[in-house]
Amino acid sequence: MSAPDTDLIEKALRQAELVVVQDAYHPTATSRLAHMVLPAAQWSEKEGVMTNSERRVSYMPKLAQPPGEALPDWRILTLFAREMGFSEAFPYNSAEEIFSEFSALTENTFCDCSGVSYARLKNEGPLQWPCPRSDHAGTERLYQDAYFSTPDGRANLIPVDHAEPFETPDDDYPLVLTTGRVKHHWHTMTRTGKNEALRRSAPEPILEIHRADARQFGIQDADFVEVVSRRGKVMVQARVTEEIARGSCFLPFHWGREHGFFKSANNLTVTARDPISHQPELKACAVRVRKVLDFPEGDN
């Protein structure tokens, strides 16, 4: 449900010969379409390492036993691979073995972690990569030596030309829809959706639309509206505001079809991707918005 064009994703999953999902949560939008769900341990129920956005590698100890048949992710993948006939490639018996292989593979690369080990992390605490030797203290700041990981050691500054969105407004779809988050929920509500206080604070997705656009389309604050793109539609209440740019509207993506078939923002979004990063163009698609005079029974 966090991917663009929900219809396309669901069609692909329904037509797949075998869909196996490993997750600590069930049901989710994906696990509902799975032939098999493998229960995974939570972060506190397994041993491992975590690397944060400042390149700091930390050891994460196991604090509790996972419930029922839940297993750590590495164990699930290893057992699954063996069942698929890849036993020789998956000889692992611990998370530490996998990390040791990973850190060795990073040797002489920009993100060299070959000097990091479970033993060091347990005894010394977190380390920042690059950390190329067992006696290296880690790297607090990159590029202090003014050397960059390029053939000549110099930084390459690449100018980027502006590109218009893949889908631009026209007479049939005159508004640009952008999607994003609200403060009360996290991603696809797998966890925050279980919190009663957060659900009360933000029970439904709300479309934000500029006052001038709302006036043009005969929409008043709190009206139910139908938001339509070339791929699908969403039916939500509108919030008329001047806090959003004219010609655009905003819809949070946290709600999936399990909350209502026409509440998922990604029913609308495009599958176009950035040519280099392949990141979906989730922040812009063309839509039209109209007031719903008679709200169809069952659409909520």
Residues 203 and 265 in one domain: yes
pTM strictly above 0.85: no
User: Which residues are paired to 58 by β-bridges?
Assistant: 50
Single residue among 128, 159, 189 that ends a domain in this structure: 128
Give the pLDDT band of residue 296 (cuts 50, 70, 90): low
Whats the size of the chain, residue-wise? 300
Comparing 79-93, 100-114, 129-143, 254-268, the range with the smallest average pLDDT is 254-268
Domain of residue 46 covers 40-128
Predicted confidence at residue 294, as pLDDT, reads: 59
Residues 118 and 181 in one domain: no
Predicted confidence at residue 189, as pLDDT, reads: 86
Residue 70 lies in a domain: yes
pLDDT in tens, 43-94: 999 999 999 999 999 999 999 999 999 999 999 999 999 999 999 999 999 9
Residue 138 lies in a domain: no
Mean pLDDT confidence for 8-28: 93
- Is the torsion defined by CA of 194, 197, 203, 206 positive or negative? negative
pLDDT in tens, 124-137: 999 999 999 999 99
Residue 156 lies in a domain: no
Give the pLDDT band of residue 1 (cuts 50, 70, 90): confident
Residue 157 lies in a domain: no
Residue 148 lies in a domain: no
Residues 219 and 285 in one domain: yes
Residues 116 and 182 in one domain: no
In terms of Cα–Cα distance, which of 191, 51, 17, 65 is closest to 128? 51
Predicted confidence at residue 74, as pLDDT, reads: 96
Residue 14 lies in a domain: no
Residue 274 lies in a domain: yes
User: Which residues are paired to 71 by β-bridges?
Assistant: 40
Residue 271 lies in a domain: yes
Single residue among 128, 163, 196 that ends a domain in this structure: 128
Supply the CATH number for residue 198's domain: 2.40.40.20
Residues 45 and 120 in one domain: yes
d(CA 104, CA 69): 32
The total domain count for the chain is 2
Give me the chain's average pLDDT, please: 93
Residue 163 has pLDDT above 80, yes or no: yes
